[in-house]
Amino acid sequence: MTPARRPRRVVPHFMAAAGLAADHVGVQRTTLVHVAAEVVADGLDPPASHLVNLLERGPLAAYECAAHLHLPYCVVRLLVADLVAAGTLLTRDPPAAEMPRRELLELVLSGLRAL
Amino acid sequence: MGSVPYSGRPGIDDVPVKIVIAGPFGVGKTTMVGALSEIPPLNTEEVLTEAGALVDDLSGVSEKTTTTTAIDFGRLTLPGVVLYLFGAPGQTRYRLLWQDLVRGALGVLVLADTRRIADSYDVMDLVETAGLRYAVAVNDFPDSPDHPGDVLRKVLDLDPATPLVRVDARDPASARGALIALVEHIEEMLP
């Protein structure tokens, strides 16, 4: 971890004014986010259009999107949820990991051993 | 913002898997995330508020300045799965962030430094409170004292089944070995 504690505005003014309002936020840090087919970024607000452009080359985790957009994760999470509600983005949720499946662990192990 | 300085993306059918690398300041978390990651390690900002990371609307954070901390993370795509590696701060003052950050994690690799083993007590407390599966990896520094494994186990109060491995956090193969020990342990713990 790199300490970077400094006070500043967390949410840019233009985003706070836009008032993101997704009903249900199911987005997690490792939720994979990708662009729905036939979406054009035209007419989206700056952070949303940046996000759509970022994802045009393929899916990224919500956490990775936040790093590239230089916005806090809690903000990007809401942005993604809003764009999912609008049909612009699609997501793939991570599996519930409380009791991982043996097949998943085997996939991880065989992948790590093969490197 | 701007260009994305690497190629390669996970597939949408890849299963995202979260693994947390936890330890005190300066133990080598950033180094290890970098050794394992296929992309240059990234920094994502987390907002530290009274309510922890349980921020579900912007009303609480949009009107005020707030303390943030940057979390290192990296990505490692394997056939069918994509591992996300989170470097988690090990101080108990981050407990609220921790609880949210580790949710859904497959397991935790606790990085320890034998030159200042007491610094790891906070992390052990966080991991055990969160009820997560974990392994302990001792990062070998050139001047690390060579404590026998059973002494370290006693000092860290480890369960006999918990893996305790040595790692060179700079070395990708060594770092992967530590991850393998963790995942093998998680598999053994399955009913």
Residue B3 lies in a domain: no
Residue A105 lies in a domain: yes
Residue B8 lies in a domain: no
Check whether A93 has a pLDDT greater than 60: yes
Strand residue runs (E) in chain B: 15-23, 42-48, 65-78, 81-89, 107-112, 134-139, 164-167
Q: CATH number, domain at B73?
A: 3.40.50.300
Residue B60 lies in a domain: yes
**The domain containing residue B116 runs over which residues?**
15-188
pLDDT tens for A34-72 read 999 877 767 788 889 999 999 998 999 999 999 999 998
Q: CATH number, domain at A87?
A: 1.10.10
Residue A1 lies in a domain: no
Looking at chain B, which residue has its C-alpha nearest residue A50?
Answer: B1
- Between positions 103 and 122 of B, the ones with CB within 8 A of A are 103-106
End-to-end CA distance of chain A: 26
Residue A104 lies in a domain: yes
Residues of A within 8 A of B16 (CB-CB) are 30-32, 61, 92, 94
The total domain count for chain B is 1
Residue B178 lies in a domain: yes
Check whether A10 has a pLDDT greater than 80: no
Residue B54 binned pLDDT confidence (cut-offs 50, 70, 90): very low
Residue B10 lies in a domain: no
Q: What percent of chain A has pLDDT over 90?
A: 50
What ipTM does this complex have? 0.86
Q: B75: how many CB neighbours lie within 10 A of its CB?
A: 25
Q: Which two tokens stand for residue B185?
A: 């342990």
Q: How far apart are CA B78 and CA B75, in angstroms?
A: 10
Helix, strand or coil for residue B103?
coil
How many A/B residue pairs have CB atoms within 8 Å?
A: 196
Residue B5 lies in a domain: no
Check whether B5 has a pLDDT greater than 80: no
**The domain containing residue A93 runs over which residues?**
13-114
Residue A39 lies in a domain: yes
Q: Does B12 touch chain A (CB under 8 A)?
A: yes
Residue B9 lies in a domain: no
Residue B100 lies in a domain: yes
Residue A20 lies in a domain: yes
The total domain count for chain A is 1
Residue A67 lies in a domain: yes
